[in-house]
Structure 1
Amino acid sequence: MFSANSRAWIHPLLCLIFSLVSLDVDGGPVPMTILQSAVAKGAVCLDGSPPAYHFSPGFGSGVNNWLVHMEGGGWCRNVEECVERKGNFRGSSKYMKPLSFSGILGDNQKANPDFYNWNRIKIRYCDGSSFTGDVEAVNPATNLHYRGGRVWRAIIDDLLAKGMNRAQNALLSGCSAGGLASILHCDNFRNLLPASAKVKCFSDAGYFIDAKDISGADSIKSFFTNVVNLHGSAKNLPSSCTSRLPQSMCFFPQHVVPTMRTPLFILNAAYDAWQIRNILAPSSADSGKAWTECKLDIKRCSSSQLQTLQGYRSQFLQALPASSSTGMFILSCHAHCQSGDQTTWQAADSPVIDKTRIAQAVGDWYYGRSAVRKIDCPYPCNSSCRNIDNE
């Protein structure tokens, strides 16, 4: 299932769409900062190259507000997979290209009314551990550096020095593996900012659940255990979780969120396309390839497969935090990552729950205009999913 050549764990098409060719109603490419000073701290990408981020300065009323968004892109759980990433932009800043900001990062007031004039940062993802790794030793045979936790801290320190230490409002966000990172680093982020600042966290498609696959195996649990062990992630996982549970269990949001102190908003599809393909029905559990078409297009699922998907939705909903203080927008779309592109964040035909678009829900929650805890009806009830299903 999880071979070194498998792209399922990296979902490159989605990441390229959101990272390189996002619908740009806001402007041209955003400059990339290569953080050379991080190298001396050992805060480097898998190949030893310096980490990078894109920074669009805030203006007007948003000059002291900071939105830090972490890029997604799967994980590598063994040497072979990490070596493969080392040869592309998922493991080296040498291969990173310019990108434009859109969606939650866009600077168009109509398209992104609550965050358009904030300081907006996108941290590039080049470590394969959701920014948690920290292994000192480097094998010269592979030259792999497992330093994601150091990368995150080096970039945050650089942003603090550039004015984030005076933040009045701040939001730590991310998509997919970056959405998981926004949960794992949330309380730490809060601790690094002024006590007077309003600090919250936002996870888009990062709520990966601890569930068995269709064969009854714990595929995702095994995978995450290998990631944590390889990257030495334990020291950067929330101690509020690792003090209670085995370390690798604390890579699952459902075991971390209940003890978080910082407000969190969860944006996720109940039929998350990546989770269906890789947690529920990975190739190792589907040797007969009966799920191949269903995984690619939910409309091609058989009645029994749809019943299984409804069961997965139930497991997903049960894994969500019960606290009413956690914001939620749980769509019934077959999609993955929805905040980084204008078409899903806020557009005329963006997906809605109760006539509310994602951008409005997140803004209402962040500013406390209303409590937001929206959970969609089961598939296929939401016709507004039509433009994003199966992406």
Structure 2
Amino acid sequence: MFDPKSRAWIVPSLCLISLLVSLEVDGSPAPMILLESAVAKGAVCLDGSPPAYHFLPGSGSGVNSWLVFMEGGGWCRNVTECVERTGNFRGSSKFMKELSFSGILGDNQKTNPDFYNWNRIKIRYCDGSSFTGDVEAVDPATNLHYRGARVHHATSHANVAECLQALLSGCSAGGLASILHCDDFRNLLPSSANVKCFSDAGYFIDAKDISGADSVKSLYTDVVNLHGSTKNLPSSCNSMETPSRCFFPQYVMPTMSTPLFILNSAYDSWQIMNILVPSSADPGQAWAECKLDIKKCSSSQLQTLQGFRSQFLQALPTSNSTGMFIISCHTHCQSGGRPTWQDVDSPMIENTTIAKAVGDWYNDRSAVRKIDCEYPCNSSCPNITNE
């Protein structure tokens, strides 16, 4: 349980991982808890405020099982963007509010059969670097703290002696973080524990935009340089690749040792809007409607999207141990809500929901490598909207 006086977790005989999180109960709001003890370690949000978290304890068969979900929210690549984030919950815990758990974090056994009674955590994201930054100096003119990795490290420790199962997960920038920190997370836990990682909409690919520019590579290079991320990217990748390339999952995956499940759309709405067709590559806004609604794409635009899908599939790992659910819906992030995770009209591939696919893979009930057909073949896609 949580001791409000000491601001510490007291969970005898459990796998205790005190991590930055935001608590949500399936449809019910939960209070936010500030991890004020982390401030002394320099583990703070961009504005220097303490990190925040929420936690839902496990019960029954799930008391020794842990699900850690890392919140997403893009990145800041320069001082101006990072300063802007300090005025909202993406850069300061001062603006964070109560949240609700649902989807993979929900406590409904019917809609979340494999993880409903686990200890569930959601790490709040307020550093703008997918938890990789670590710069000691703070410019008094901006008061920006690039300390994402410290937040991660300061909160990823505790008595894990009796942890039997664990899953590190996340969405978008948090989904990328679940890949970048996957092997480190595995090393925190007993070798006997079943530890795996799950990335939702975090498999961002190294692709040129429609103008032929390397827009996303430029973005990641700026993020890595600004936040001092190099030393906190997977060392196995850093030894062979330039640091900015180690921000791309396709270059990290070959060196990973911990099993990973990839949930992604081959027509990911964020990637189409920011990697394939960023504003800089479409000054005339010819893609404005298509980027927001794939049904409004012209035949030539759809052909370009099919080419992007091909690049995405080519960037995926070939190992059979990697689980996959690559759908053709035009969306972004699907594990955090019941409608897309598992419900009566949830998106499916081969009559399988996302929840069932992830659960089957995690529990070794079956190998799961489901890759959907080309848009617009999947009739379950109209049931979801872009996030």
Q: Which digits, 9 at most, give the CA deviation of each residue in 1:97-152, with x for residues without a partner?
A: 00010000001111100000000000000000000000000000000000000001
| Pair 1:304-2:300 in alignment | yes
Return the match for 1:388 from 381, 384, 387.
384
C-alpha displacement of 1:52:
1.1
The whole-number CA distance in structure 2 between the counterparts of 1:34 and 1:133 is 20
Which residue identity is paired with 1:69? F
| Pair 1:286-2:299 in alignment | no
| Pair 1:230-2:226 in alignment | yes
Return the match for 2:245 from 211, 227, 249.
249
What TM-score do you get using the length of structure 1 for normalisation?
Answer: 0.92
**1:171 alignment counterpart:** 167
The whole-number CA distance in structure 2 between the counterparts of 1:253 and 1:165 is 30
SS in 2 for 1:166: coil
Give matches, 1:190-339, under 5 Å.
190-339=186-335
Instruction: Give the ranges of 4+ consecutive aligned residues of structure 1 lying more than 2 Å apart after TM superposition.
Output: 30-33
SS in 1 for 2:324: strand
Indicate conservation of the 8 Å contact 1:63/1:119, yes or no: yes
The whole-number CA distance in structure 1 between the counterparts of 2:377 and 2:181 is 35
Indicate conservation of the 8 Å contact 1:32/1:55, yes or no: no
**2:153 alignment counterpart:** 153
The whole-number CA distance in structure 1 between the counterparts of 2:130 and 2:31 is 23
Indicate conservation of the 8 Å contact 1:298/1:390, yes or no: no
SS in 2 for 1:314: helix
The whole-number CA distance in structure 1 between the counterparts of 2:83 and 2:222 is 15
**1:15 alignment counterpart:** none
The whole-number CA distance in structure 2 between the counterparts of 1:124 and 1:301 is 35
**2:104 alignment counterpart:** 104
**1:87 alignment counterpart:** 87
SS in 1 for 2:137: coil
C-alpha displacement of 1:154:
1.4
The whole-number CA distance in structure 2 between the counterparts of 1:74 and 1:202 is 18
Identity of aligned residues (%): 79
Range 381-390 or range 307-316, more displaced: 381-390
Give matches, 1:105-124, under 5 Å.
105-124=105-124
The whole-number CA distance in structure 1 between the counterparts of 2:151 and 2:30 is 20
**1:349 alignment counterpart:** 345
Richer in helix (by share): 1
SS in 2 for 1:125: coil
**2:18 alignment counterpart:** none
SS in 2 for 1:265: strand
Indicate conservation of the 8 Å contact 1:209/1:254, yes or no: yes
The whole-number CA distance in structure 2 between the counterparts of 1:166 and 1:217 is 50
The whole-number CA distance in structure 1 between the counterparts of 2:39 and 2:162 is 26
Query: RMSD over aligned Cα, in angstroms?
Result: 1.4
Distance 1:199 1:266, change over 3 A: same
Give the total of aligned pairs. Answer: 367
Structure 1 unpaired stretches of 5+:
1-18
SS in 1 for 2:210: coil
Which residue identity is paired with 1:243? S
Which residue identity is paired with 2:306? Q
Which residue identity is paired with 1:310? Q
Range 30-39 or range 124-133, more displaced: 30-39
Structure 2 unpaired stretches of 5+:
1-20
